[in-house]
Structure 1
Amino acid sequence: MKSPIVVVTVVISILFPADAFHSNYFDAIKGCKQYGHEGNYNDPLTYIPITDLQNLGFTNKSMFFKIAVQGNYDGILRFGDSLYPYNKEVIEIVFGGWTNTKSAGRRQHRTASNKATNTVLAEVQTPKLLSADRPTMFLVELFDDGTIQVRIDGQDHPFLLFNDAKMIPFYYMAFTKGSKDMVYFYDCPVDRYAKICYEDGKMYVYRDEGSLNESKWETAKNQSSV
């Protein structure tokens, strides 16, 4: 009499893994902070110094962090070396732009009179990347040589990759939007001691307590405190 019960239990566990009963898209943003100051594209933005961030990861050649974006389209992240980046350049990453069909990496110069000029560094097709119903978590990785990679968290390969030859520092960050309201989450938990390796174009992540480069963090903190 016990055998049928065992069989049924096994079948249920295969068809409905334990995680399936607890899956929630919003679990991904646990521990994140919500950005509550997103202005329109040409509005003055509230830039966050990275000294306020608790969750930055490092490898021997890069810095990485996670953000989440929720909305119909035109999620936009900017970062640079100034709290007030006028007559300066910033990096701008567009998530699900062009009505949620493409994403892009750009270098933007904004004059003191608030006129912006964008230089496209990369533009790729990313149909239906964003959703208005749930946040999408991204991992952004900034390499020492100016390479910038963006991937959906948990995926091996970046969907957006470009190089900033000017290597604009990541000392301050802000979010903005196009015509639609957006919700942004930042300072999301990362494994600060995760060691990221690359082989044949694929990313491998495992823990290594010695892989954290604290000197990069200290240098960045000192610069954003000036």
Structure 2
Amino acid sequence: MKDDYIHQGKRKQLVELLRKKGIADEAVLQAMNRVPRHLFMDSGFLEHAYVDKAFPIAADQTISQPYTVARQTELLEVKSGDKVLEIGTGSGYQSAVLLEMGVQVYTVERQNELFKKTSKLLPRMGYRPKKMVFGDGYKGLKEFAPYHGIVVTAGAPELPKDLLAQLKVGGRMVIPLGKTTQIMTVYTRKGETEFEKREYGAYRFVPMLEDKN
């Protein structure tokens, strides 16, 4: 599991690109600079690890574009010590970025092939989520709620109400909503039944599926 000066140099260039694209949260940029993205990718794509693009991984899924990971993380507005629920562990890259920020990560993956692979990879790299579960992301992880933040890394055709209920007051859920193209949407919990909704532009994600298990 090599992370040499060439990889580190390419990561610095990627971070500068993210800065130019508008990512302003220094904690997010520093975390992105520390996470060796190439170690989360299939061998056929290694030379493209620090290109700002999504690439295929196992189970017909993708490792998200670095800009998307940075933007979703920035929109969460979390800090070290906060508790975050991630829906869609995938390659583990988003988890690693949050863990580098000192966040307590609870993560759910519905593809068994990916779950098995990533649950071994993350600890091997020194990244230890509080909980990693194979299950239906639409249901979240109620037993560990409430969360300061919830990040959904797949396109949800509709808003999962169970997830909203697991946010603490003042917490934010970042979720791409829509069927073919998704709108990056942030819900901030203002009270027991009150939520504020804001939208942050169009993206394309792999679809979020339920009852895959």
Measured against the shorter chain, the TM-score band is under 0.3
Q: Which has the higher contact order (CA 8 A, sep 6+)?
A: 1
Structure with greater strand share of residues: 1
Structure with greater helix share of residues: 2
TM-score normalized with structure 2 length: 0.27
Larger Rg: 1
TM-score normalized with structure 1 length: 0.26
